[in-house]
Structure 1
Amino acid sequence: MTTKTPALGDSDIGVVAALMGEPARAAVLMALLDGRALAASTLAAEAGVSASTISAHLARLVDGGLISVEASGRHRYFRLSRSEVAQALEALACLAPCRPIRSLRQDTHARAIREARTCYDHLAGRLGVALLEALVRDGVLVASQSKRARESDPILGAGRSFDYLLTDEGRSRLLGLGVQLVSSSRRPLTRYCLDWSEQRPHLAGALGGALLLRFLDLGWIVRGERRVVKVTQSGRSHLAQEFGIVIDG
């Protein structure tokens, strides 16, 4: 006797939307959007809830497959389960209204996060968008119109969706900078995210992650508070020299 596999219908996005839509859980997911693992106590502070309440929210997010948990001794740390979760959060941020600014600290952070930030494990904000544009302009990447563009990409619109391909010259140039170019069947070398603050693409994929790590190793950028990335004085000089990216200020 053969067992018939039940037919599957459309994706049930309501399940994921309900998990993301609760304010405390949304705050947790946004806090984890820089790709790092954080302790429950840190996430409770980010969400503004008690330790017992955050435990229940984290359990639901783990069960729903949006975050994973790692043990280190007696402590547990949480991170986004995969890059697709970060991509979904960034896409939602493009649709979501901005929160009102009620303090000088909030205003300072809002400006900084738009200037340069991490989106999971790659650069975003003005710096991330400028980097992708520079890589295409300099021939490191070639933007070729994708099949999605011909079929009207739902995010970028018809004629604005591209596949970004690494050229041979670009590969040599990036290897010369010490960028580790590793891709796998699970993760493409290049992919774009639509940047929620700039409304233009920034570079994701394995190459986007490798560039972030290399810039950190070189000391061109340093991590700041809550996903913010700060460009160092050395970074200003080298980004201008290598990629023609001029950082104001």
Structure 2
Amino acid sequence: MIALQLPTFVRPSPLTRVNRAVADPATTCSRPGLAALTFDDGPYDYENEISDYLHARQIKGTFFVNGYNYGCIYDEANVQRLKRTFSQGHLIGSHSWSHPHIGSLSANQLNQQLDLVEGALMKILGVKPKFFRAPYGEHSQQNLELLAKRGYTVVDWSFDAEDAVGASPEDSIESYKQLAKNFPASQITLNHETYQTTAQKVTPNAVSALQNAGYKLVHVSECLGLGIETKDLYLSVGTPSARDSSWTCDGTPAPGA
């Protein structure tokens, strides 16, 4: 028999305890009946399988991307993935440049991580990200204060599909079915676009389970009541740049660093 996993609800670790002057990271939506599907660690091979599936059903997803994790964000295949996802109206957020444990970074190092992702997304898409998810969901008070000063809204989650820690797609699907029973309690769900089974099996079943329960599936900006227009999703919206010699990951922090 396959052991079925119940939904995982994250309790803040000591790293996530913050001064009340800084907003706590978001874990649920602003009103009942909403659920935001989020996907971390791209851009990667399966991103557009997910984005196309959601787009065909008029669902807006959220993709928290790295600059140099599963490949370089400037690789042409990744550039085209991001452009397609963005053109479909999905929200693109920052997940740091190289997926480090940001709680161990200095302020200068964290600023570099943010600057590099901002620079890449401004070049590729013409936008400066507004939403940030910390790798591993780890963040110190100092991290959150710095992010707030830079205008970021930090997004954690209420439910983890656990694809990144070895859950089978069957277990993740069953967890989503159990989660759907909590309707209308709002949800922000964590998934990873780097797994083929997440794209091809878990996401379609998650959508079905949540929608059948009555959830409206939205990106995190709508989830948090912060707007649905493109200008609401980013700190700035401009014009993409033409590729030049600066479109490289050479000389930047390596994956995990």
How does the TM-score come out when normalised to structure 1? 0.25
Higher relative contact order (CA 8 A, sep 6+): 2
How does the TM-score come out when normalised to structure 2? 0.24
- Larger C-alpha radius of gyration, 1 or 2? 1
